Amino acid sequence: MAVSVAVDEPGLLLEGPHWDSLTGTLLYVDIHGQHVHRWDPVTKQKDTYDIDCMVGAVVPRESGGAVVAAGTKFAFLDFETRQLNTVATVDPHKPRNRFNDGKCDAAGRFWAGTMGDEPVPTKVDRKAGSLYCLHTDGIVTKAFNEVDISNGLAWTSDNSTMYYIDSLQYSVDAFDFDLPTGMLRNRRQVKTFDPPVDGVPDGMCIDTDGKLWVAMFGTGHVLQVDPETGTQLRSISFPAPRTTSCCFGGPNLDIMYVTSSRVGYSAEEVQQKPLSGCVFQVTGLGARGTPGMCYNG
């Protein structure tokens, strides 16, 4: 196994990596930089799209372009014209809220959650966020509220279970998931973390064996956990303490891409941790991911 820098131009708060199998590119966002990035690992070319507010998540659209969760809006991004068209807004009475992580399910719905104002990393207005679903017909529904920091999402291969992270609950939760309707039931914890030791759970992905890989903010690790037993299986260390999210990519979905942050660091801390804010890659893991889903609306 080897950890190396994939994209060595650091951002501020990189998040939400998504491997687009159709184009062979990695999509990810810089939340504080207000950018969507599309990086080609073969040519090393990176295309950057400016967003007019903090952008929490991006996924490709089946019909072309991408859908983003940015500020308190869902919007379509046209890669050709670079235009952003709002399709829905949420949290109208909470103007300081913003979207954070998001991902599509196998039916092509886009799930993304909000969080309250965060003046200092992980110090937020408590219980101000919600988890939303943008359906393929453009309708938005709220799954639940009282969320601190809405984060990682993943589904089992049979689509019967959705995994979810609200970071300040310091756990991975599971729901019974109904694919035809998108209904969630029976929330329960399947893995808990000790923040001083493990860090704060952030983004995550799932492998073909049904094991979860969770980026731990503050400790510079990605942990592989078994949601069936609640046990930690492996730990990967990165030269950036604020690891934020991860996904599998590459032609065989066997390269793990990991995003990181340098938000909140002083100039001296950035000097001490110069790779913070880069995108990393892990090869030789012996694990493969499942394909990222597109938005089907």
Question: What amino acid positions are annotated as catalytic residues?
Answer: 202
- Those residues whose C-beta lies under 8 Å from the C-beta of residue 269, and which sit 6 or more positions away, are none
**Whole-angstrom Cα Rg for the chain:** 17
Nearest to 261 by CA among 6, 4, 11: 11
Residue 246's Cβ-count burial label (10 Å; 0-12, 13-18, 19+) is buried
What string of DSSP letters covers 196-255?
A: HHH-EEEEEEEBTTS-EEEEEETTTEEEEEETTTTEEEEEEE-S-SBEEEEEEETTTT-E
Contact 51/60 with Cβ under 8 angstroms? no
- The CA distance from 75 to 252, in Å, is 30
Pairing of strands 183-192, 171-178: antiparallel
Contact 64/76 with Cβ under 8 angstroms? no
Tokens of 274: 């110069």
Contact 226/196 with Cβ under 8 angstroms? no
